[in-house]
Structure 1
């Protein structure tokens, strides 16, 4: 496959990127633009869907220019995306009816509370694998129906379309010819039955969401139509949510394989194979990916604030100049041996396994000695504490005693976090030198569907890893610290 490449569109919460991969699974070129966040009210997180599309078009051209290759060198295109983020647009004009409602946004919280009073939470959980929360797309659609004039009527009349960010980009790339998504993204909407692999009529009836606005659902590796780039038709052959794509990028194909991705949020996912493992401990049962008409399931724990917590230290608190400084300051705080403090970054509520969408952030244990480095360290450590919350729930649900964890995502480059995770979890924690597992995973899926790679067992394996094991004398102190964290979370959950 010399002189042919796979193009990946990676539309995330804070950036949109287009990446070119070669047959060895190596990045040839990457082009990136920031994805601005719109915060009109407290708890609201929105995006300009039109701007994201314009940025995507520009990036596709720019990456070709940077790589000095022609469009006919692109074998296939794959799309991976921030999940749950909701776009509704006019079917005729193609214009969004409002800003895209981000996955972190809690603007539909009141709607969620009203639904909970109807005692259908268990129905939703059984069919969709999800716990009722403003995190998921369905409540965001209902918020738009309530707030945008005549939108509910237009939806009933089939005049508008719904999609997560992958669906929006696919519709634009195919010039309105394909209104589709894949099973992994559909499974995050709280409208999709993960067992029948169909939009669920009972759920739609309960929520009063018309089926005609929903996209067709495909495998993750599938034929999604074509787009035209510089006069060349290029097939779009894969779509998957960002966390599922990262799992595939790690080639975590065995049952029990686990990865944890630290981006804007943090997400731990375990491959459960052909079994939709129901969680009794606050995790999500979701679809990892679909290939050849068969789906692979996963258990997932979602942490709402990871990279966004580090960004908060930089932008709002002005305690650090860049993300790397958070690691340096955390080490400095630990060396000073100040009293342990805890920061619970519940900026948009608490995710798994607590699911407290009304919770808000707090710090505990602050004394006159507390300084900026201590606050930074507490913030970094909060990501590890939340990871342990999820890991313990995952082990209880599956009965699988994990002995190692693989991490990725931009925040995982934080050396202090990596080391603290190993001590707190009392296991080896590894991260790849190349942290771009999300885009690599969707490149693999697109390449498999297009024949760029012939089979999963022939995908390139070229990931150099950094391994850190726990310190021999760390277990007692880490257990004490974790008990303190649990007290802090319990307090946040009942306040205000």
Structure 2
């Protein structure tokens, strides 16, 4: 259970004793392409924000890396940038009661536990270099039994394959492993470790929403599973795994050792998709959200016991806020969402900025017969086809840029429909409304297309920083800014837009059948 007000540290009590309007919570949002720091008031409104993009590294086809030190630098600079804007408004940094973290999940960092220095670049969740390694693992006895324990299928997506690849192929990491000095973590663990000052304080933790993405954690016990580690032939004496703690905790995450918020406690942490579910206030079973970011991720709250999918979905921890407040989710993960828009801008030069792609798509009435399977990194849920690749079908002399743009946007909507169908089969319940957030949901065209495809209303909030808000909520619940879910009832309710289906179910079915045909034809290209 979350600790009571009486058990909170003195600094938090002092901040909380001031008027409610004086309480603020910071949120570090460490994403795939940029880092941000946002400051929220108790009404869930963004008071200040600072954002920085960082370098995307693509050493080989299918490889995607980040510099772990650059990630930390971007976090620290964003904190300072937002706090400066906050204070320029007349506020004081002491009014920021606590800080929460949300992060890209499966991205893997390894470092030397004695020095705190990374041993290679981080391998990003989209990276597919482990394809051959995963194929070998799938032939090992017991491979089919893993999902029942950890909720994830064997694919290039989870962290385990990235860690095994590093140990096999990076000499410095292999040496550290053999000497028992290898530290492994997802981005949340790395950020918390470094923000606390690295080896000096040695704060080395992860929350269940992140730890459940490694394939090492047992979904039922919320702790590492020795049988899983043995199956992957990982020696726990040689690699350090982060302690799994609650998503909201007043003590476990330590405090910032530097930046303008030096000494401020970190009291919450959630993987980005869980954070978005919390930010949409999906606290109870039956609620779902879809985040249209670099990738696209649909989470459906299934309650306080995990549901293991038999239809191509992932089972994951939604959040762990203590006894009676731990929820699980079914998840559908789409590798390519907003990154397909960026692809048309950066690689094909269709338009000068991603924000204008929707306008280009609106220059035509439909996709002109084109279907774009945006399988740049294979296909994720519910298909799980590692060897699929991006393929455009139906191009004729009639095809214009607008048709390709519209087909690109539709791809995410079709995959979302496929995921919802699987969720209905696994849960036995049909969703009646879909809450949405993320950059792509700013487009009315995409949201209307999504509603048309899935045949239910799409609910878009006025304030769309729901991922960062979720991290702030986790931190705020642990630090007393909000005492309960009930306190959050009126947070971010203004300015919502509801998109309702405008095409017949028959027409939507015909379009989806064409998409499914294209998916089947896109398989096998990476072989």
- Asked if 1:195 corresponds to 2:220, the answer is yes
> For residue 189 of structure 2, what is the aligned residue in structure 1?
167
- Asked if 1:366 corresponds to 2:395, the answer is yes
Q: 1:338 to 1:217 in 2, by over 3 A?
A: closer
Post-superposition CA distance 1:170-208 (Å, at most 9, x none): 001111321001010000011111111111111111112
**Counterpart-to-counterpart distance in 2, 1:368 and 1:477:** 25
Q: How does 1:25-424 map to 2 (within 5 A)?
A: 25-68=44-87, 69-149=91-171, 151-176=173-198, 177=201, 178-211=203-236, 212-222=239-249, 223=251, 224-228=253-257, 229-230=259-260, 232-294=262-324, 295-334=326-365, 339-424=368-453
**Counterpart-to-counterpart distance in 2, 1:338 and 1:307:** 18
Structural RMSD (CA): 1.4
**Counterpart-to-counterpart distance in 1, 2:38 and 2:165:** 34
**Counterpart-to-counterpart distance in 1, 2:318 and 2:463:** 22
**Counterpart-to-counterpart distance in 1, 2:367 and 2:315:** 40
Comparing 308-317 with 223-232, which one deviates more in the overlay? 223-232
* 1:476, distance to aligned residue in structure 2 (A): 2.1
In the alignment, structure 1 segments of 5+ residues that lack a partner are: none
- Contact preservation (8 Å) 1:258, 1:405: yes
- Contact preservation (8 Å) 1:260, 1:269: yes
Post-superposition CA distance 1:8-58 (Å, at most 9, x none): 100000100000011111100000000221000000111011011011111
Post-superposition CA distance 1:283-340 (Å, at most 9, x none): 0010000012452100000000001001001000111222232211222222xx5632
- Contact preservation (8 Å) 2:64, 2:123: yes
- Contact preservation (8 Å) 1:156, 1:210: no
> For residue 481 of structure 1, what is the aligned residue in structure 2?
511
In the alignment, structure 2 segments of 5+ residues that lack a partner are: 1-19
Comparing 318-327 with 258-267, which one deviates more in the overlay? 318-327
Task: Tell me the matched-pair count.
Answer: 493
- Contact preservation (8 Å) 2:147, 2:308: no
**Counterpart-to-counterpart distance in 2, 1:11 and 1:355:** 26
**Counterpart-to-counterpart distance in 2, 1:368 and 1:153:** 57
**Counterpart-to-counterpart distance in 1, 2:376 and 2:223:** 34
Give the secondary structure class of the aligned counterpart of 1:435.
Answer: coil
Post-superposition CA distance 1:64-108 (Å, at most 9, x none): 111114432220010100000000011122111000000000111
Comparing 203-212 with 171-180, which one deviates more in the overlay? 203-212
Give the secondary structure class of the aligned counterpart of 1:36.
Answer: coil
Post-superposition CA distance 1:447-470 (Å, at most 9, x none): 000001111111142332111111
Comparing 249-258 with 143-152, which one deviates more in the overlay? 143-152
**Counterpart-to-counterpart distance in 1, 2:449 and 2:480:** 42
Give the secondary structure class of the aligned counterpart of 1:272.
Answer: strand
Q: 1:379 to 1:232 in 2, by over 3 A?
A: closer
**Counterpart-to-counterpart distance in 2, 1:113 and 1:83:** 22
**Counterpart-to-counterpart distance in 2, 1:165 and 1:297:** 21
> For residue 2 of structure 1, what is the aligned residue in structure 2?
21
- Contact preservation (8 Å) 1:343, 1:362: yes
> Structure 2 length as normaliser, TM-score?
0.91
Comparing 308-317 with 114-123, which one deviates more in the overlay? 114-123
> For residue 437 of structure 1, what is the aligned residue in structure 2?
466
* 1:156, distance to aligned residue in structure 2 (A): 4.3
Q: 1:369 to 1:338 in 2, by over 3 A?
A: farther
* 1:230, distance to aligned residue in structure 2 (A): 4.1
